[in-house]
Structure 1
């Protein structure tokens, strides 16, 4: 058995001593802090200390408890939450309040033991504080230990009783005598007795250890163990500590005591499950605090990010009312309003996307898409909007154009790549950015690489977490910090994986893979598509007509009833853009009617309302997809290319 003095302050707090420092794997760590505390075997209470005008603790308020707290204390949750200890038990020990108050005010952990009259059992209560003025209590039933100490008193009276008690214990037992060197200084113990459970715990037979010294039986014994045991044998003061056993990878609570001067006995209780719960709780507690801090920082950042473009929109809109404004300045104002509006829309879209991903409401819509055209389109878009012309954008495509048709959600795939490319432009300070894909058996593996400054290995996991941004201390960080987490969320939704290869000064390369679903047949070309636009607002129709009339034939319906009539009259309609809120017959009703005649034609809903309830109604009516207003030209282009891949738009 080995010990290690390294431990965190909180680790020490739970038991009042330093447990072994050991990395533990927590594959089943619950996502929610409350769900973790609910399944704990130990009672847990979060409390707030109450002080008088002199800052002296006089009571404490119970803020939260877990189910095990009720079992250990006999106090129901509804009778504890929101009440002080004196309200619950007017005869409560003042020493408890003094101890817990000291913990809450100094944040130095303490452990106390006592008898609970409600349950007729003995408990150990460990208190610790991570927030000044508050503390957490962790209750542990120590009745068995008290009984063991009573058993120790009994075994002194009878050898037969000693034999019966030891071999029926559930704890390992060792009894030994102190040894002195020629200078009359204690240095070791001679093992005189062990029980069967001890053999199971140590994987050593009784015949192989009885008569040997402790250091002979355990050559790697940590010196701190020996110091503790010698102190117990000489002073008679008992000790309780937690140690890790290398022989069987288990944690044990060692209760050592002195039966008579110069002798030592200890009981070893397997507490591996309890230790795992304690470590899980500690980790979850820290995660909750970290999450709250990140959310606060995120909200503060979002406030800045939203107010900045909004300020520009309002400011330049006010300038436009100035009749003396020059045409040049007028156009500059319009350009600033447009750019700020796009920034604001991007931020709102990011927040909605991460919310849908977090709540598992986001769905994928698979259609046929030419992958090479998607890559080329992205390259063209970023070359147009990129302000730094010194950054060269390089693409790589593994498939021939006529073999690059795949089944995918093109919108979300393009969003993943766009977020990664935008990140490279924003943070890379790179001479070139490369992106593309390769075919790896059943997967398409995409990459976005830059030749920039790289990312510190310590920050590479953080970059995939929501609400987190990694930046240099001397740089100003812009944006929501959600781009990469959103990309990672969509990759997971595709059933794929995402990872990062980066080193400081060597650039960064994001990789992700998604299932490869090839469409082997070539698609016929169309001379010109026909699109039916159902829109009662003249300005909205005019905008769509301006965008689309050059590339396809446009049919216009002023309401849902006209949309149904035109669709039935013109058999050449290839796609319908359906406004939801229209007179005579609304878009949902019109879609239902059209679906009674045709289940294949793509119907794209347009709506200013994108709440979950209406979204479900629109999709249930038969719409393939929903575009939320305001709708930009790029978004229309993405959707039309998804459903009409040969459209020259």
Structure 2
């Protein structure tokens, strides 16, 4: 084996020597070529300098003091100088000798040689004061320097190696003495050197070939003897390797069985020596400490992020070394960026006749986490049960209170001895309580829609200032009903009426503002309430200020949760369901904004919310105030209106309203009857159709009626106020949609739109 290595070493030495020799010859050849090349280029530059410098002594002494203007040198004198310089071309082996001056920022030839061909043909001859338009920028730079400039450039006469010599005459006139040599001529000179270089290289390579052949013959003789020796030694070595592999395979299989069991087990395990130095860890333990085993083998167990307390480790180690094992010792341990709880077991084992400790870790963190989550879920469920119970009790109060007013004052107005003023006051109280009850029902419906993700936004054009002015009128009236007539209520707006037309869901905006204003009125006993809006970039920022009881800072987040108020005593003292702010926050979010509050106890509250500012430039929308003034002036005399309604009370209400305006009212209770009556009565001007009818639905009836009365408007009326119901109604062919409870204002506004 040693001889083979020695043989290979000798061969390598020979090959390396040959390579070094060839590299040396190649390097010498390249150096020789570039040395001759540089020498030729130096000779070229020397010739160019001599040629350009000859301008100074071949020309008359005062020539360039006279050659300062277009007509200062005669053509005869210029041609004589051209002939003189052309002869100098031939003597020095250059292409052109010439001089140029800089005049008014341009270069002009003052002298120039010419080739024999140019003189004979007259082509490409250069004349006195001919502008040199293709001159390189280095020509211009040379006039500002005293240094000689060598350059390679191309113009219409060819590509040249040139020299520029700045010269100043006795009178201070400056010109450049120049000479050119064609690049092609220089390249021919360089080509003459290549055969010489190649010949020298081949010669140096040939003289070493006999030496290489002799060495190879000696090597071949050596190689045969060495091959026989290597073959013999290889056979013996292969047998030895076979026996060793067999032993290693047996050991490997044994270690692999332990390694698979150790590493694949899902239970974290590690092995340390008696001093706590890590011998091995399994993959599950790597996941706990987030460190690969290769980085911690040989490290003390206390230096890696596992034991939270060194005292735990010392107790475990002492117990195992003295008793041989420890079982189910509970302790805290470090895991990632947290701490966990584990059950620790360990046993003393012998590895290479040395005591080692095999440790097993059972992570109880998830188990405890599930227990804690279960406990929290239980507490949350109990809290929800408590909140639901409180909500139902509070809801019962909130429903019964307006019902008590409605029922009580309904009985009182039956008294025929009541004067008109008192009767009107009772009616106002019944109306106010009815609206409160309706708002409560709407809140319950809205919170259900929010939880189901079905609350929709429908944007329309409206006037912000008109909306807020109506809210001002409402709250001014409501404060007297609530017995708070001393409160000052102010409205501030940022836009003029003409500028306040925006695209928004008017109903939802009113709902949020009514909730905030209702709360402000409820919790303010004295002082003032102020509300309004400002324009902030692309947002409208609404606000409601009050000088009421305020909110504890710890309760600010709580008040936006459903069924919750600032504290449990608030609902008992002031009433309310705890739904208003939760609904308002959800609506504002759907509108594309946020709702928040700034408040302190006894210092009042400031509620803010933002929505996108979608201004409408066209303010030609119908003024709602004008509609309000004229809607009750509608005259339905000689108009026939069909009411399709299965509820007698609802029909009676509608009939009373319509007959007061002079309408001829027809009535049927289901869809089939509606279809039949419209077939026989073609004088019907408008139909009020309930959606939920027995036998045939309002939707199907409308589709059938439109087949033979396509121009009769059919208005859907229903207690189902969901957006999906409205969309479905229009898909069925209804011309408009109104929801119950139905006000006379809404009813006549819709009818007037169709019966103009």
| TM-score grouping bracket, smaller chain normalisation | 0.5 to 0.7
In structure 2, the partner of 1:473 is 569
Q: Which residue of 2 aligns with 1:297?
A: 390
1:263 deviation in Å?
7.4
Does the aligned pair in 2 maintain the 1:252–1:268 contact within 8 Å? no
CA distance in 2, matches of 1:462, 1:256: 43
Residue 339 and residue 164 in structure 1: after superposition, are their counterparts in 2 closer, same or farther (change >3 A)?
A: closer
Structure 1 residue ranges without an equivalent (≥5):
1-157, 180-188, 645-649
**What pairs with 1:527-546 in structure 2 (closer than 5 Å)?**
534=641, 536=643, 537=651, 539-540=653-654, 543=657
Q: Which of 591, 596, 606 is matched with 1:509 structurally? A: 606
The CA distance in 2 between the partners of 1:447 and 1:347, in whole Å, is 23
Residues 310-459 of structure 1 aligned to structure 2 (within 5 Å): 310-321=403-414, 333-387=426-480, 388-429=484-525, 431-459=527-555
Q: 1:614 to 1:278 in 2, by over 3 A?
A: same
Confirm whether residue 629 of structure 1 aligns to residue 746 of structure 2. no
Classify the secondary structure of the residue corresponding to 1:259. strand
Contact 1:199 1:205 (C-alpha < 8 Å) held by counterparts:
yes
Contact 2:488 2:527 in 1 (8 A): yes
Whether 1:175 aligns to 2:263 is no
How far apart, CA to CA, are the structure 1 residues paired with 2:474 and 2:312? Answer: 68
Matched, 1:308 2:401: yes
Q: Which residue of 2 aligns with 1:238?
A: 327
SS in 2 for 1:489: helix
Q: Which has the higher contact order (CA 8 A, sep 6+)?
A: 1
CA distance 1:608–1:219, shift in 2 (3 Å): closer
- The alpha-carbon deviation at position 458 of structure 1 amounts to 2.7
Q: Shift in Å at residue 353 of structure 1?
A: 2.4
Please show how residues 48-87 of structure 1 align to structure 2 within 5 Å: none
Pairwise CA distance, 1:321: 4.7
Task: Name the residue aligned to 1:9.
Answer: none
Contact 2:302 2:310 in 1 (8 A): no
Q: 8 Å contact 2:555–2:567 — kept in the other structure?
A: no
Post-superposition offset of 1:411:
1.1
Cα deviation, 1:265-306, whole Å, max 9, x if unaligned, reads: 433567888887776655545444433332222112112222
Match for residue 285 of structure 2? 198
SS at match of 1:266: strand
Q: How far apart are 1:628 and its partner, in Å? A: 3.7
Q: Distance in 2 between matches of 1:497 and 1:597?
A: 51
Aligned residue among 578, 594, 601 for 1:497: 594
**CA-to-aligned-CA distance 1:218-253 (integer Å, 9 cap, x gap):** 59834674487468647744226585645x336766
> Structure 1 residues 268 and 444, CA, compared in 2 at 3 Å: closer, same or farther?
farther
By percentage of residues, which structure has more helix? 2
For the pair 1:256 / 2:344, whether they are aligned, the reply is: yes
Asked if structure 1 preserves the Cα contact closer than 8 Å seen for 2:512 and 2:587, the reply is: yes
- 3-state SS, counterpart of residue 453 of structure 2: coil
Match of 2:88 in 1: none
The 1:339–1:598 alpha-carbon spacing in structure 2 relative to 1, beyond 3 Å, is: same
8 Å Cα contact 1:250/1:270 also seen in 2:
no
Residue in structure 2 matched with residue 117 of structure 1 by the alignment? none
Instruction: Please identify, of 324-333 and 444-453, the stretch whose mean Cα deviation from structure 2 is larger.
Output: 324-333
Matches within 5 A, 1:153-172: 162-172=258-268
Between 344-353 and 294-303, report the one with greater CA deviation.
344-353
Asked if the contact 1:471–1:477 (Cα under 8 Å) also holds between the matched residues in 2, the reply is no
Q: Judge which range, 373-382 or 516-525, deviates more.
A: 516-525
**Tell me, which stretches of 5 or more residues in structure 2 are unaligned?**
1-253, 350-354, 644-650, 668-673
**Secondary structure in structure 1 of the residue aligned to 2:270:** strand
In structure 2, the residue matched to 1:142 is none
| Structure 1 residues 541 and 282: CA distance shift in structure 2, 3 A | same
Contact 1:453–1:507 (CA<8 Å) still a contact in 2? Answer: yes
Change in Cα spacing, 1:168 to 1:627, as seen in structure 2 (3 Å) is: same
The answer on whether the counterparts of 1:251 and 1:270 sit within 8 Å (CA) in structure 2 is no
Residues in 2 aligned to 1:392 and 1:268: alpha-carbon distance in whole angstroms: 71
CA distance in 2, matches of 1:602, 1:373: 30
Deviations 1:82-115 (A, max 9, x none): xxxxxxxxxxxxxxxxxxxxxxxxxxxxxxxxxx
Q: Displacement of 1:175 after TM fit?
A: 2.9
Does the CA-based 8 Å contact 1:232-1:256 persist in structure 2? no
Please point out which of 591, 615, 618 is paired with 1:521: 618
User: Using a 3 Å threshold, how does the CA distance of structure 1 residues 438 and 223 change in structure 2: closer, same or farther?
Assistant: farther
- Deviation at 1:415? 0.7
Q: Following the alignment from structure 1 to structure 2, what is the Cα–Cα distance between the partners of residues 417 and 308? A: 23
Post-superposition offset of 1:378: 1.2
Please state whether the residue corresponding to 2:347 is helix, strand or coil: coil
Match of 2:75 in 1: none
Distance 1:303 1:283 in 2: 29
Aligned partners of 1:356, 1:629: CA distance in 2, in Å? 18
Residues 600 and 322 of structure 1: CA distance in aligned 2, closer, same or farther (over 3 Å): closer
Report the TM-score, using the length of structure 2 for normalisation: 0.50
Matched positions, count:
465
Q: Partners in 2 of 1:228 and 1:603 — Cα distance?
A: 88
Query: Contact between 2:528 and 2:547, CA under 8 Å: does it hold in 1?
Result: yes
In the aligned structure 1, how far is the partner of 2:326 from the partner of 2:740?
75
